[in-house]
Chains A and B, each alone.
Chain A
Amino acid sequence: MAWLVVRLAISMSLLYAASAVFEDQVGKFDWRQQFIGKVRFALFDTHSQASKKLLVATEQNVFASLNSRTGDLFWRHVDKTGPEGHIDALLMYGQDAVVVVGNGRLLRSWETTVGGLKWETVLDTGSFQAAALVGVQDLVKYAAVLKKSAISLHDLSSGSEIWVENLPDSDSVQYQTIYSGGNGLVFVLGVVPNSHIVIVEYKIEDGEIMNKKSVEAAWMSSLESSCAVVSSGILLCVDQITQSLYTLPLQSAEQTEMRQIHLQTLDLEVVSGFRPVLTSTQPNPAQPPLSEFFLQLSPDHHILLQFKDGLIAPLRDFNPSYLAAFATSGERTVAAVMSPKNDTACSINLFSADTGRRHLDTTIIYHMDPNGGKPNRLYVHAFLKKDDSVGYRVMVQTEDLTLTFLQQPGRVVWMREEALADVVTMEMVDLPFTGTQAELEGEFGKKAAIQDGLLPMVLKRLSSQFILLQAWLAHLWKLFYDARKPRSSVKNEVTIDILSRDEFNLQKMMLMVTASGKLFGIDSKSGTILWKQYLENIQPNSVFKLIVQRTTAHFPHPPQCTLLIKNKDTGLGSLYVFNPIFGKKSQISVPALPRPVLQTLLLPVIDQDYAKVLLLIDDQYKVTAFPSTKNVLQQLQDTASSIFFYLVDSSQGKLSGFRLRKDLSTELIWEVVIPTEVQKIVAVKGKRANEHVHSQGRVMGDRSVLYKYLNPNLLAVITESTDAHPERSFVGIILIDGVTGRIVHEAVQRKARGPVHFVHSENWVVYVYWNSKFRRNEFSVLELFEGAELYNTTVFSSLDRPHPPQVLQQSYIFPAPINTLEATLTEKGITSRHLLVGLPSGNILSLPKLFLDPRRPEVVSEQSREENLIPYAPEMPIREEWFINYNQTVSRIRGIYTAPSGLESTCLVVAYGLDIYQSRVFPSKQFDVLKDDYDYILISSVLFGLFFATMISKRLAEVKLLNRAWR
């Protein structure tokens, strides 16, 4: 008995300590989407007919296998970021894939069905040039890797090095390609630009140089882009200046110069300024390539040519055509060509490679997304049908990184939005009301009331009530209807038309801006992409800033978002204004920005259409207002003297404050200069504008109140020392008032260096740095208090707060590196705060702010216990149950976005990196919601039971009274 009790007690205590997601809650309010990024190589598994594998290697250093029927990931390997994990080449033979990684640093072989690593070899140093499979006697046995000055041959089954040979004259000759036709020789081709080509023959068995020759080619600058090997070892090159093709048999000893064939003789011409491209195909590495090849003469002109007996003959001219690609199935090689059909669609057709004849009934219609980019890559998967004809599917990659997989006659099998692998910034916007709710809103709008009289208003009221009743009945009917269906089929897809705000505002619209310049509107509940918009002509180095100017709260005015796109080099910017719910571009005229934009400022001032005013400050400190109606300018003039803003020039270490003048010019009012010789400014952060602080102070153990220093204009400036020596390096933190330029606090964390991640909120700043002395990550928290008395209890003004705040600080060891840091946010700020820490492992740790409190006492006293302060411990705990995303890790987590919901207890969280994860967190548990397993039946039966019991007992009491009266 005693044991049972103990066990019960222990399990009860565990129940209270556990705070993670329960198993039955998995996927209930969270979702994850995994991405791979921009595809660099894609290969279909043609090993067997039934194979569904599609191998992709991407610019994001991801190597993955996709299910070509559904587009889902079979497996995915995420390598290191940057050049270290860069995938240089992807070769495939049979069940294995050979990958060269990190500029020729590693050679790996993967088993493609489960994604297991078979072997890995470290290659000699040297920059990677090319890799190829080498076959002997119809068997692919080796992989050759060409470096800048060496060539090595590796066995495919074990990865062991067969031989490695230095290349002759590698300091003057640029070796660029490698070719093997299965005849026991490996050819290495190099070029001395504008002079000659060098061809070196190696024997496969021992790497002996069999032959070496150089051929005059004064016109050639690079082999890679303009040459290809066709037929039985014929090097074919194209040159746009001489408008000629050049051929050279690689193995012949007698021919010592390239034979020139004028394109004119073939009635062809390269468009001026376009670099022609040759595409050949070698279906089997153990056999020579086909004699057919594509020549691209202009961006939309391809021609299929054949090399036969030293002559080149055109097989078919594709004009116009966007893309062309070869594919092989079994013994048959086909060519797929994409040609424009009309303005919105392209047609893809299949042609037999050896004759150029079109295969009948092989057209795939590809509809181009009007909000998307142009197609730029075509991958073809050919297969043999039962009747021995060739069937095919294609994967199209567009400029906006959409992967579309199509099959005949144009059915989209799946689609992946790989732009989402690189989200730059995001916002969450409330959804609009439903039509009926909007109707009610409209009825009580001010304008309507003035226009109509009493009677029409009554009628309107009645009609809207009737509409509401109708909607409610429809809703009930739907509930009843859905309840009968099995649960899985109820999950209907979300469309833009039925989007409406839910009871607790838990469903929102996620606006995501990606580095490629594509905008997405995503439903936060399901992760469905509701709209997308590709912005063309975005420079790759652009920076984006997304501003919500008008929320959905101002019916009938549509919500409005503004995206500021700024070129990082020139600083020139442009504005893109759109409706965040439907993704449509707004018709509002946008101010031209002829000068670089330094700073933006969203004012609480609103114009007559309820849009917040955005101020843009250019490099001459002139201010442009958007929208700039008369009303706005008038308001700006009235409030100009209280509009301040700051600028940061990290290259000069200068922070400066400005004040707006009535004529929209500005004046410099303060300046702080941090010498760049000692330290550089790495980050400046203010507080979030939508943050609410519920409590002005903290109640202490002795019942007095410690008031928080809640300065909304406070800026946290983080600096790093220029001296990188571990003993002398430091991280500086400076708290500056953004209005007066007053340095409120200045601290130096010695023997520390970045990267520094920090959160600035309420009256605290939390930052993470690397302690270079102890080699560990450390958290530090700064809290600012005004003291036991508030200087001015009603309002905060930076201009009138003479006493500096008390600053408390404490540091802790954090036993893990971190990627990003964010704090939870709730609607009223009553719920306690948590810090969301994105770890490199992909987990998101929800760390209670309680642990980061500089008032944690060294020695526990009665008062600190009263205050619920945890005794100080130098190490911050990491508990597994604090991971909000259990096993749904987010690869390369880059940012976390938090947004309040309509429920005070609930905060919406979106983590983005290579993957996107959305969830909800409840920092103080769900104090305002009944639990999922709340027993409605029990409580209602108890209620009814009590009700009836009272009725019966009342009746009984009456009878008893009556009987007593009769006595």
Chain B
Amino acid sequence: MATMRVLSLILSVLSSVTLLWTQSGECNNGRRSGEAVDTDFSGFSVPLEHSFEVDDVPRFSLRGVLQFRGGREHGVYLAQNQLSEKDRNTLKDVAAVDGLYRIRVPRVSLQADRQTERQAEGYLTTFVRACSLVESHLSDVITLHTDVSGCVVGVSIVTIPGSCRGIEVEDEVDLEVFNTTISVVAPVTAPVPETAPYIERMEQEMEKKGKNPQEQKSFFAKYWYLILGGAVFLMATSSAQTPPGGAREQS
């Protein structure tokens, strides 16, 4: 899966996109805006929203736009805004009370052909501790997991590093721009019993045995020294006592 790292730079194009987003209302259902952005036929986009509140009641606002490229390989780009002064302070406050930083994406299908089929009701949400996001200087890894049919079933976010150690962070420099790695992960196909290579290997071994004349020797000719050694050993030990078959062993 090709992961594309997109730093959120304030490009003019993107700002116009975000302008559209903000215009389309606070409660963004994604569908309308998706249509507005979806100029490219093969790709489409959905909003990525986040929420961090001191009172821990989620109020989601737009963080960026996920742009999917159509086709077999699910390429995804994330275009995201800078954190505002107010947001930065809120985030630090939330981190101070060990609150949560939540993100959500609408449920979408990456493979449906028509726009209307792409979206289903509801959102997929996840969270990370706000303090770890602050301490990692907004560097996070977002992964979208899809099922076999290409529907996004889950989203996960981790920060690197993920720990909260209580390190002071200078907000001006470190808390402005998200440093995000985003990827789409489809389920891997689990392996099946590999019979063909095994049989091949067996055949090869058989052939090897057949070619090597040394292997053709009889059992005694090959292992006479082992048997002799074993016999000596056994005679040494068995003369003492051979244990009867009542040993209490079981696997």
Contact = CB atoms under 8 A, between A and B. Distances in A.
A926 B249 CA distance: 7
Nearest to A876: B193
Contacts of B238: 8
B158 A670 contact: no
A882 B251 contact: yes
A872 B198 CA distance: 8
Nearest to B102: A669
B234 A9 contact: yes
A921 B190 contact: no
Contacts of B210: none
B224 to A, nearest CB: 9
B185 to A, nearest CB: 7
Contact of B148 (A24, A678, A792, A834): A678
> How would you classify the secondary structure of chain A's contact residues: helix, strand, loop or mixed?
mixed
Interface in A1-41: 2, 5-6, 8-9, 12, 15, 18-22, 24-25
Contacts of A746: 145, 147, 185-188
B191 interface: yes
B187 A748 contact: yes
A922 to B, nearest CB: 5
Given A746-B188, A809-B190, A675 B249 contact: no
A810 B124 contact: no
B73 interface: no
The winner among A670, A678, A745, A809 for most chain B CB atoms within 10 A is A670
Interface in A869-920: 872-875, 881-882, 884
B212 interface: no
- Interface of B, secondary structure class, is mixed
B195 interface: yes
A668 interface: yes
Q: Which of B162, B198, B238, B241 has the most CB of A within 10 A?
A: B162
B122 interface: yes
B168 to A, nearest CB: 19
Nearest to A922: B250
Contact of A749 (B190, B230, B244): B190
A882 to B, nearest CB: 6
A209 to B, nearest CB: 62
A678 B234 CA distance: 64
Interface stretch (B41-49, B63-71, B126-134): B126-134
Given A673-B122, A673-B153, A730-B148, A811 B191 contact: yes
A925 interface: yes
A8 B242 CA distance: 11
A236 B223 CA distance: 90
Contacts of A692: none
B4 interface: no
Contacts of B107: 673, 675
B234 A800 contact: no
Contacts, number: 198
A495 B235 CA distance: 52
A819 interface: no
Interface stretch (A67-75, A293-301, A345-353, A735-743): A735-743
B195 A874 contact: yes
B156 to A, nearest CB: 4
Contact of B227 (A6, A734, A742): A6
B120 interface: yes
Given A22-B245, A743-B154, A799-B132, A750 B145 contact: no
B189 A674 contact: no
Nearest to A924: B251
A933 B194 contact: no
B129 A670 contact: no
B154 A741 contact: yes
A802 B249 CA distance: 45
A929 B168 CA distance: 57
Contacts of A679: 147-148
B221 interface: no
Contacts of B128: 740, 799
B145 A670 contact: no
A585 interface: no
Contact of B247 (A22, A730, A734, A811): A22
B250 A5 contact: no
Interface of A: 2, 5-6, 8-9, 12, 15, 18-22, 24-25, 641, 667-675, 678-679, 730, 732-734, 736, 740-743, 745-750, 771, 778, 780, 792, 799-802, 809-813, 834, 846, 848, 858-859, 872-875, 881-882, 884, 921-923, 925-926, 929, 931-933, 935, 938
19 contacts: A9-B230, A15-B247, A19-B249, A667-B56, A672-B154, A740-B156, A741-B126, A742-B158, A743-B145, A749-B192, A750-B190, A802-B160, A834-B251, A859-B201, A875-B193, A881-B251, A921-B250, A922-B251, A926-B249
Which 7 residue pairs are nearest across A and B when measured between Cβ atoms? A19-B251, A742-B156, A672-B154, A5-B231, A874-B193, A802-B158, A800-B162
Interface of B: 56, 98, 100, 102, 107, 120, 122-129, 132, 141, 143, 145, 147-149, 151, 153-154, 156, 158-164, 185-195, 197-198, 201, 220, 227, 230-231, 234, 238, 241, 243-251
